[in-house]
Amino acid sequence: MLEIKNLHAKINDTPILKGISLTIKPGEVHAIMGPNGSGKSTLSKVISGHPAYDVTSGEVLFEGQNILELDPDVRARLGLFLAFQYPVEIPGVHNAGFLRMAYNARRKENGQEEVDPMEFDELIRSKLNLVEMEPDFLERAVNQGFSGGEKKRNEILQMLVLEPKLAFLDETDSGLDIDALRIVSKAVNAYKKPEVGIVLVTHYQRLLNYIVPDVVHVMANGVIIKSGDKSLALALEEKGYEWLL
Amino acid sequence: MSQQLLNDITTRDYPYGFTSNIETEVAPKGLSEDVIRMISKKKNEPEFMLEFRLKAYRHWLTLTEPKWPNVTYPEINFQDIHYYAAPKAPKKKLESLDDVDPELLKTFEKLGIPLTEQKKLANVAVDAIFDSVSVATTYKDKLLKAGVVFCPLSEAVEKYPDIVKKYLGSVVPHTDNFYAALNAAVFSEGSFVYLPKNTVSPMELSTYFRINTEESGQFERTLIVCEENSYVSYLEGCTAPKFDTNQLHAAVVELVTLDNAEIKYSTVQNWFSGDPVTGKGGIYNFVTKRGKCLGKNSKISWTQIETGSAITWKYPSCVLIGDNSIGEFYSVALTNHFQQADTGTKMIHIGKNTKSTIVSKGISAGKSHNTYRGLVQMNKSAHHANNFTQCDSMLIGNACSANTFPTIDVKNGSSTVGHEATTVKISEDQIFYFQQRGISMEDAMATIINGFCKDVFKELPTEFAVEATQLLGLKLENSVG
Ligand SMILES: Nc1ncnc2c1ncn2[C@@H]1O[C@H](COP(=O)(O)OP(=O)(O)O)[C@@H](O)[C@H]1O
Ligand SMILES: [Mg+2]
């Protein structure tokens, strides 16, 4: 469903991605690991269309369509989702309102009727339970004053509501205590289905104990230096990245 | 911020930039006693009005343009402006809409202000002013039945000379400032609203101003008087065609409330703001607006959404004379591209227990400059008076600037003054966050702005709140880089 071919990208004239190729099929879980600064977040932002990055060469096909010329919101409505490593705070914007707006944008795209706040309230209740969040959390401004763990859970909540075909989870496990990690993993596992692809960007093997990947990639300095099965993650845990560099 | 997007700033066309092809009668350029006499004569004015104008003109000659606002523009040549422009009127007086040039009606319809009997807005009475004259006023009869007088000022001079004589210039005297003097000398049209005792207006009143003639100035003058226990809500809107030259708009608005009366005055200002790329053209909006709460427990509330004009220079103010009277100022001032705004309010507390609230939201984008300038003055007599000021700025991109100059002058120890200020910046990452969730940039912008401005928007008459939100969204499209 996602095909990345020899992707090069830069920011402010600094090349960051230097030839990434990667294929993800429906139903697969991929893990991307690698040292800080290797370009993992950059990859996810380039794929989702962050305007700060320039693609200098290569292709990204989503369900066969080249998406690099599409606006980020169009890509999102095609079913691409990114759980941010650092979700941004948006003061003055109501969390539930924001979520409903995103949900309705998707529905509109599919020719479905938009839902009103009452209907949405009902719909979101079960998803809230899945990430074990209190409803009053929806009444706050988007990410404003959320703890690190709350921000990450909010990202997962958004994923559950928007039901993307392909989800990038960028270090969703970082900064979570063991209980929160368990909650988040449970929610992701519940979302896993044959038509959905999931990419986990992580530093830690421990997440992969909960969400088992089909393929593990190691990224360093803007390229994928090694791919393998889940045993690769275990080897990394044992020997560190130096072993590959 | 990515340079690329900043450079990419495309602009949505100003949808009201068209010119109407209407036969117009204009006074020769320049200002002199003769021109003033001519304007007065055109309007069939009584002697006292001519005197009013000439006195102001003679005073104006002694003044120089104010230089203290935080805006820059080339010297204005006051002899290079038409001080009177009007659609050529038919010989007979306009008795009904049938006498109005259909081209004019079409113009207003294009602007979203249909005036004809079949199409006119429900629940809003409109006075439509084109260049220097009023074209039509809707629901006049219905309002009169309720006791509300709503008509062009020139008609009021004729029909209600005593009220006009009593109040015109009583809030903003011609000596007030350079532009107030100029306006008093040459004003050509405006709206007049008068509510006698115990009258509540059954609908919103609204005046719509349209400048059409190039190199003409618009100098309208509005007077609203609310007697004891009366209430009115009034809204003004404005647009102008795109011209490369700048046009001067120097209006004066005077409000008066007697005991227990209330005036709610809202503005949605969307004058042409100049070429987004070169900065050429646009309206110079130099306006003096002031309300006098003369009576006890009376209230004047200003709400303004300022989105247009090349330069905006205005401070809708309240003079709180009656005990327990209330003054409010709710403002959103948005500047983009090369726009400059220096706006704010003055709250002058004179009576006991007077209360004022100021909520100012400044939004700056592009290369614009946005200044809040405010004065809160507690006079010696203002026992237990109270003010609260909230002054927030939002910056979009790195090339704009925002300033706040709040002045507080307290001469009464029992009064209290509170001030809060914040500055926020809309980042590319915030907009991207919306977009990544499938929400378009326009909707993202509108939502963030809405969140920032909601304390002001909720003060707008509901008929206009939605429109204002959309307007701001459009104005800022693609401005986050
Ligand atoms: N605005 C920027 N200008 C220049 N370099 C940047 C900018 N943003 C990120 N980088 C660099 O890009 C590289 C990749 O960053 P990132 O994708 O966040 O890595 P990871 O997610 O793997 O830790 C880092 O070396 C980082 O310093
Ligand atoms: Mg990262």
Tens digits of per-residue pLDDT, B47-97?
Answer: 999 999 999 999 999 999 888 888 788 888 888 888 887 766 544 455 566
pLDDT of residue B18: 63
Exposure string over B336-352, b if 16+ CB within 10 A, otherwise e: bbbbbbbbbbbbbbbbb
Q: pTM for this one?
A: 0.82
- The partner residue sitting opposite A90, judged by closest CB among B4, B430, B440, is B430
Distance of alpha carbon B180 from alpha carbon B164, whole angstroms: 17
Is there an atom of ligand 1 within 6 Å of A38 CB? yes
Inter-chain residue contact B436 with A73, CB threshold 8 Å: yes
Is there an atom of ligand 1 within 6 Å of A42 CB? yes
Average pLDDT over residues B230-252: 80
Say yes or no to pLDDT of B480 above 80.
Answer: no
Distance of alpha carbon B102 from alpha carbon B393, whole angstroms: 44
- Report yes or no on A245 lying in a domain: no
Residue extents of the structural domains in chain B: 2-475
- Report yes or no on A99 lying in a domain: yes
Indicate the DSSP class of residue A148: H
Whether ipTM tops 0.90, in short, is yes
Contact of B455 with chain A, judged by CB distance below 8 Å, is answered with no
pLDDT of residue B478: 58
Q: What is the CA radius of gyration of chain A?
A: 18
Structure tokens at B278: 């070169």
Query: Closest-CA residue in chain A for B449?
Result: A92
At CB < 8 A and 24+ separation, what contacts does A232-239 make? Answer: A233/A31, A233/A33, A233/A205, A233/A208, A234/A205, A236/A33, A236/A205, A237/A205
Confidence band, pLDDT 50/70/90 cuts, at residue B133: low
Chain A contact set for B361 (CB, 8 A): none
Distance of alpha carbon A63 from alpha carbon A26, whole angstroms: 10
Q: Whose CA is nearest to atom 1 of ligand 1?
A: A11
Higher pLDDT, A243 or B455: B455
For residue A160, what is the domain's CATH number?
3.40.50.300
Is there an atom of ligand 1 within 6 Å of A54 CB? no
Q: Which of B384, B378, B383 is nearest to B349 (CA)?
A: B378
Average pLDDT, chain B: 84
Inter-chain residue contact A51 with B438, CB threshold 8 Å: no
Structure tokens at A52: 């700060």
Q: Percentage of chain A surpassing pLDDT 90?
A: 86
**Total count of domains within chain A:** 1
Q: Which of residues 409-438 of B touch A (CB under 8 A)?
A: 424, 427-430, 432-438
Entry field: residues in chain A? 245
Structural domain for A122, as ranges = 2-239
pLDDT of residue A130: 92
- The partner residue sitting opposite B439, judged by closest CB among A87, A94, A101, is A101
Average pLDDT over residues B226-237: 93
pLDDT of residue B91: 46
Average pLDDT over residues B359-386: 93
Among the listed ranges A115-119, B109-113, B348-352, which one has the minimum average pLDDT value? B109-113
Inter-chain residue contact B433 with A88, CB threshold 8 Å: yes
Chain B contact set for A92 (CB, 8 A): 448, 450-452, 454
Q: Whose CA is nearest to atom 25 of ligand 1?
A: A37
Q: Whose CA is nearest to atom 2 of ligand 1?
A: A11
pLDDT in tens, B113-132: 667 766 676 667 777 777 66
- Chosen from A10, A56, A73 to mutate, greatest number of chain B CBs within 10 A: A73
Distance from CA of A241 to the nearest CA of B (A): 30
- Report yes or no on A244 lying in a domain: no
Q: For residue A171, give the ligand 1 atom closest to its CA.
A: 21
Confidence band, pLDDT 50/70/90 cuts, at residue B5: very low
Distance of alpha carbon A99 from alpha carbon A104, whole angstroms: 9
pLDDT in tens, B180-203: 999 999 998 888 999 999 999 998
By CB neighbour count within 10 A (0-12 exposed, 13-18 middle, 19+ buried), where does B164 fall? Answer: buried
Distance of alpha carbon B109 from alpha carbon B121, whole angstroms: 11
Inter-chain residue contact B437 with A162, CB threshold 8 Å: yes
